[in-house]
A and B are shown apart, each in its own frame.
Chain A
Amino acid sequence: MKRSLRPLAATAVIFIIAYALSVVQFPNMLSTRVLGNFLTDNAFLGIAAVGMTFVIISGGIDLSVGSVIGFTGVLIAVLINWLGFHPLAAFVIALGVAGLFGAAMGFIIHYLQVPAFIVTLAGMFLARGGASVITQDSVPIHHDFYDTLGDLMIRLPGGGRLSFIGMLMIVVFLGGALLAHRTKFGSYVYALGGNPVSASLMGVPVAQTTVLIYMLSSMLAALAGIVFSLYTSAGYPLAAVGVELDAISAVVIGGTLLTGGYGFVLGTFVGVMLLGLVQTYIIFDGTLSSWWTKIVIGVLLFLFIVLQRIIFAASAPGGKSSEKA
């Protein structure tokens, strides 16, 4: 196996072991029903995490995704319910607004040379505030198109159901993996995260790539918002608070380095599934309180970070010097 694939393999192995241990305790967890729900329940997180993977591989961070999800939900609900738009038109508008929003953030990050952390923090406040200004309440969405999408599903053997949004997440992950590993844009993103100075000297269009990365992240967050509104049939300004942290956790657990330049889109998928597994296990157990989810995810994060350190220290003898830095 390629040496660079080791962290991805490690994540996958740990997921399989964790899943196997859960199945030993609760045999019902192996059903396609549970697997199908895994995909459905984590679809919005997964889609947002794909965008986050690109941002983090490029060496940046996007704190605004949770707010963009909330804003998109409110915007769609208002467009459909109050202004009578067709959902598809509302989706297009929402994706367009998010694209402009992300492009603006990428623009500021590149041209004003401000750390992504602060720019996307401002974006987080702006999107959340914008959603709250539109409405303070949860706006239910009633439309036949929503019911149609809700009924769209593939029945799996064993009583499980693969819902439309679960399928959408899988498509986004496959698309993201192709974009990252098989296109010129993907290699630009890796180059930027590896070393921005070398990247620009080697002819990577740094400005354009930075803007596109944050555009992609915001548009995927908007898509996650659409999925979230399909999932809950409502738009709520405080929806998806803190999802950016779950997404970052999933990306880190999936073997992507937060220093940039190295990572896998499919690793993020395993990361999302692992977070989902923790939640499902705690629900199955019933005696563990929901706050254990947070503690277990924190412990998992820590373990994976240390694991990455060990793997990288072992596989790169020259990397030792960077540890002292």
Chain B
Amino acid sequence: MKRLSPGRLANPQVMALIGVLLINWLLFPNFFNVTWQDGRFFGSIVDVLNRGAPVAILAIGMTGVIATKGVDLSVGAIMAVCGAVAATMVVAGYPTPIAVIAALSVGMLCGLWNGFLVAVLDIQPIVATLVLMVAGRGIAQLITEGSIVTFNDPALIFLGTGSLLGFPMAAVIALALMVLVTLLVRKTAIGLFIQAIGVNRAAASLAGIRSRMLLMLVYTTSGFCAAVAGIVVAADIRGADANNSGLWLELDAILAVVIGGTSLLGGRFSIPLAVIGALIIQAMNTGILVSGFPPEFNLIVKAGMIILILLIQSPYVTLPFRRRRPTITKAASR
């Protein structure tokens, strides 16, 4: 809720992103080279923006969910469902805008279902979203009838591979979504309410916050973001792959949110930093690819990074540097 200032830009996430980019540059000197071709930019750094966009879009929705002390495991499956909806409708001859709106609506419906389970039936978020995670991919296969539905609708393909002012469309969509959602939570009281629910839902409800409706809104937003990511990914490969679209991306999205400093215990969150988290992950992926290391190292590097973040965020490590609140009971913070 503070204004952007040079001091605020120098936070650990931005420094980490710069650090990863610099390491990439050391390993691969051409990393920062950008060329202009066919009316758009090309280069490794543009590739980071482009490839990082789906996870960034997922992370935008996931941040709100995690801020309420929840987690949304179903975003990858929702991506597959929405990609399948958009692709099959375009193939069936519907106009592109209708197909996109239908896919977005399906995504929001999926999110609403998750929100209903969490907020109304009061089911733990991991379990509630697990249902759709398991069933969603099956539903996506049902829609595509088990095959990869390919399409060549120019308008839909533009959403995945086109460019605006030289920048890849996927990155532009991610940026627009980030600005929109950030303004929504920071310029209205919604962000504060979300934090209140994350800290203590019962207390927030007693204080008059309509936690049920807000939770449903948060999960619906996550479903919407997943739908956007699903459409972008389908448009990028010009086809809907029910088996592989968004596979394990939910874990990358959660990782991006955690890197962005949002606590899994709820309460504190930042959407722009989650997007930077997604870019850090993608910068490492791209770095490993361009520097010639075998791609198998990707997962190990990712795991190493999670462990590093955990160590940095751990109370035992940060405790000596904090002045206030020296007592942390071991069991209470589990």
A298 within 8 A of B: yes
Shortest beta-carbon distance from A170 to chain B in Å? 26
Contact A117 B132 (CB under 8 A): no
Which residues of chain A are near B121, meaning CB under 8 Å? Answer: 305-306, 309
Do A117 and B71 contact each other (CB < 8 Å), given the known contacts A125-B300, A200-B330, A309-B123? yes
Shortest beta-carbon distance from A282 to chain B in Å? 11
Interface 9-mer from A81-89, A128-136, A180-188: A128-136
Shortest beta-carbon distance from A98 to chain B in Å? 16
A199 within 8 A of B: yes
Contact A298 B131 (CB under 8 A): yes
> In this complex, what residue of A is CB-closest to B242?
A291
A1 within 8 A of B: no
Which residues of chain A are near B306, meaning CB under 8 Å? Answer: 118, 121-122, 125
Q: Which residues of A in the span 288-308 have a Cβ within 8 Å of any Cβ on B?
A: 289, 291-295, 297-299, 301-302, 305-306
Which residues of chain B are near A291, meaning CB under 8 Å? Answer: 137-138, 141-142, 146, 242
Partner of B300, one of A117, A129, A298: A129
Which residues of chain B are near A298, meaning CB under 8 Å? Answer: 131-132, 134-136, 138
Shortest beta-carbon distance from B288 to chain A in Å? 11
A283 within 8 A of B: no
Do A258 and B138 contact each other (CB < 8 Å), given the known contacts A125-B303, A125-B306, A197-B329? no
Overall SS of chain A's interface: helix
B297 within 8 A of A: yes
Which residues of chain B are near A160, meaning CB under 8 Å? Answer: none
Q: Report Cα–Cα, A113/B123, bound state, in Å.
A: 24
Interface centre among A113, A123, A196, A323 (most CB of B within 10 A): A113
Contact A297 B134 (CB under 8 A): yes
- Interface size class for chain A? 35 or more
Which residues of chain A are near B202, meaning CB under 8 Å? Answer: 324-325
- Interface size class for chain B? 35 or more
Partner of B146, one of A258, A289, A301: A289
Chain B window 124-151, contacts with chain A (Cβ cutoff 8 Å), 1 for yes, 0 for no = 1011101111111111011000100000
Shortest beta-carbon distance from A273 to chain B in Å? 17
Contact A301 B315 (CB under 8 A): no
> In this complex, what residue of A is CB-closest to B127?
A258
A115 within 8 A of B: yes
Shortest beta-carbon distance from B298 to chain A in Å? 7
A245 within 8 A of B: yes
A316 within 8 A of B: no
A259 within 8 A of B: yes
Q: Which residues of B in the span 313-333 have a Cβ within 8 Å of any Cβ on A?
A: 313-316, 328-333
Which residues of chain B are near A123, meaning CB under 8 Å? Answer: 303
Which residues of chain A are near B310, meaning CB under 8 Å? Answer: 108, 112, 114, 118-119, 122
Contact B131 A301 (CB under 8 A): yes
Shortest beta-carbon distance from A296 to chain B in Å? 8
B255 within 8 A of A: yes
Shortest beta-carbon distance from B93 to chain A in Å? 25
Q: Report Cα–Cα, A108/B317, bound state, in Å.
A: 13
Identify the 6 closest CB pairs spanning chains A and B, nearest first.
Answer: A298-B135, A129-B299, A294-B138, A291-B141, A129-B300, A126-B303
Q: Point out residues on A near B: beta carbons under 8 Å.
A: 59, 61, 108, 110-115, 117-119, 121-126, 128-130, 132-133, 136, 196-197, 199-200, 206, 245, 248-249, 252, 258-259, 289, 291-295, 297-299, 301-302, 305-306, 309, 323-325
